[in-house]
């Protein structure tokens, strides 16, 4: 269940629950439970690498957190904003650049009416494809680190 802490009208962070599946020093890997909205979200790739896998997140944790614990993790809202900018803003900017380039080309060439309408559309979609590819590559290289807020429970499945 995703919750948000609100302080004086400003959202500070997004929180979620998950199970600790691994520990490496001060970091833990938390496997988040998928929600209904995750299936159709473009940011699902950012959370889990692809839409079919379970979302996992790297988080800093205190010494009392171990494998199998159910914890509540918090991700700063700036990380979600950056991911949204990469996944939505970059393809949109590429599409608009293609439309403007197509419009400029149609203005320079001064072709017939049908071609002058098609050039911006074709240019937009031609640049949209690399925009999507670049945004996916950038999303895969983003490595957000969350923070474990507290232990909710100890899971039976995580203990060796």
Mean pLDDT score of the chain = 78
| Residue 20 in this model has a pLDDT that exceeds 80 | yes
CA nearest to 148, candidates 79, 75, 73, 76? 73
pLDDT at 3: 43
| Across 53-57, 73-77, 121-125, least confident range | 53-57
Which letter does DSSP use for residue 88 in this model? I
| Residue 6 in this model has a pLDDT that exceeds 60 | no
Distance between CA 152 and CA 11 in Å, rounded? Answer: 22
pLDDT at 8: 46
Paired tokens of 99: 């439309």
**Which residue is associated with the tokens 């473009």?**
42
- Region 42-68: mean pLDDT is 69
pLDDT at 4: 46
| Residue 50 in this model has a pLDDT that exceeds 60 | no
Q: Please, are residues 136 and 86 in contact by the beta-carbon 8 Å criterion? A: no
Phi, psi at 97, each rounded to 5°: -65, -40
């Amino acid at each position: 269940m995703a919750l948000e802490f609100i302080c004086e009208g400003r959202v500070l962070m997004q929180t979620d629950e998950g199970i600790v599946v691994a520990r490496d020093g001060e970091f833990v890997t938390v496997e988040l439970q998928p929600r209904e909205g995750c299936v159709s979200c473009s940011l699902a790739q950012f959370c889990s690498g692809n839409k079919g896998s379970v979302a996992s997140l790297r988080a800093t944790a205190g010494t009392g957190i171990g494998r199998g614990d159910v914890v509540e993790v918090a991700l700063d809202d700036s990380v979600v904003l950056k991911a949204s900018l990469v996944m939505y803003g970059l393809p949109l900017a590429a599409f608009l650049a293609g439309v403007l380039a197509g419009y400029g080309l149609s203005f320079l060439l001064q072709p017939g009416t049908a071609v002058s309408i098609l050039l911006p559309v074709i240019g937009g979609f031609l640049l949209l494809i690399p925009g999507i590819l670049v945004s996916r590559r950038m999303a895969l290289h983003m490595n957000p680190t969350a923070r474990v807020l507290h232990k909710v429970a100890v899971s039976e499945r995580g203990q060796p």
